[in-house]
Amino acid sequence: MSNATEVKKFPNPAPLGLAGFALTTWLLSMINAGWFSGEAMGMVLAVALAFGGTAQMIAGVMELPRGNTFGATAFTAYGAFWWSFALFVLFLHDKVPAGMVAWYLCLWGVFTFYMWLSTFRSPRVLQAIFFVLWITFFLLAAGDWTGSAALHAAGGYMGLLTAVLAFYLSAAEMMIECYGREVLPIGTISAPLVTSAAR
């Protein structure tokens, strides 16, 4: 078979995108859970712009030639989330009316909820990530609306769980790419959505 007729294999961007999401989510969630004060936010913003935002956007663009609509949408959207979060904290924090942050978080929860509904044919770990994430957004929104520190902390702990699951799936996907088989179980049901079948 000539090289001209060989099927081109596009690299799998899921390990990169999931790692960028997981690391940034973990750092912010430690603050939300009360492990660190707001003084630690500078580190979160740096990672949000460089890894959570930029790396995820790159991963989303990489999903396009693979024909993976879900992966492209998820990675690009959450990359934009981290950019918008960093810009908000840096430039707009004192200029936004009361309640607007809660709406911001709530609407991200709505987006994440219907993304979760789209994962039911995907690996169980991916389903779990989006399930825990939409709960995280709604808890943080409720905490902002009510001023409840307990709800805010609960959102932080759910965010930590989200990050652990995302790190796990990132590692599992990397090992699949390196070893050609599933090393860490991800609960595969059918063709994954974040990781397209173009392997």
Task: Check if the beta carbon of residue 180 is closer than 8 Å to that of residue 105.
Answer: no
What does pLDDT average to over the chain?
A: 91
pLDDT tops 60 at residue 129: yes
Q: What is the pTM of this model?
A: 0.89
Residues with Cβ within 8 Å of 82's Cβ and at least 6 positions away in sequence, in order, are 24, 48, 49, 52, 53, 56
Task: Check if the beta carbon of residue 168 is closer than 8 Å to that of residue 42.
Answer: no
Model pLDDT for residues 71-96, shown as the tens digit of each residue: 999 999 999 999 999 999 999 878 88
Q: Please report the pLDDT score of residue 8 as a whole number.
A: 66
Q: Please report the pLDDT score of residue 194 as a whole number.
A: 52
For helices 69-87 and 14-32, give the axis angle rounded to 10 degrees: 40
Model pLDDT for residues 20-65, shown as the tens digit of each residue: 999 999 999 999 999 999 999 999 999 999 999 999 999 999 999 9
Task: Check if the beta carbon of residue 71 is closer than 8 Å to that of residue 13.
Answer: yes
